[in-house]
Amino acid sequence: MKYARTACLLLALVCVLLSGLAACRPRQPATFLQGEKVKDGVWSLQHKLQLDLPGRNLSLGFTGMMRLDLAAQTAQVAGVAGLGLQLFEMHITLDEATIEYMHPMLLKIPHAPKYIASCIRTIWLDNLPQLQLNSYLRQGDVLLTATGDRVAGLWPERVRYEDERVPFTLDVRLLQAYKENLQ
Break the chain into its structural domains and give their ranges. Answer: 1-29, 40-179
Judged by average pLDDT, the poorest of 28-37, 94-103, 117-126 is 28-37
Tally of CB atoms within 10 A around 130 = 10
> Model confidence at 60, in pLDDT bands (50, 70, 90)?
confident
HSE-up of residue 63 (Cα within 13 Å, Cβ side): 12
Q: Which amino acid is at 46?
A: Q
What is d(CA 40, CA 166) in angstroms, rounded to the nearest whole number? Answer: 33
134: nearest Cα among 158, 154, 161: 158
> Model confidence at 130, in pLDDT bands (50, 70, 90)?
low
pLDDT at 36 over 60: no
Greatest mean pLDDT range, 6-15, 102-111, 121-130: 102-111
More confident residue, 167 or 61: 61
Architecture of domain 40-179: Clam (2.50)
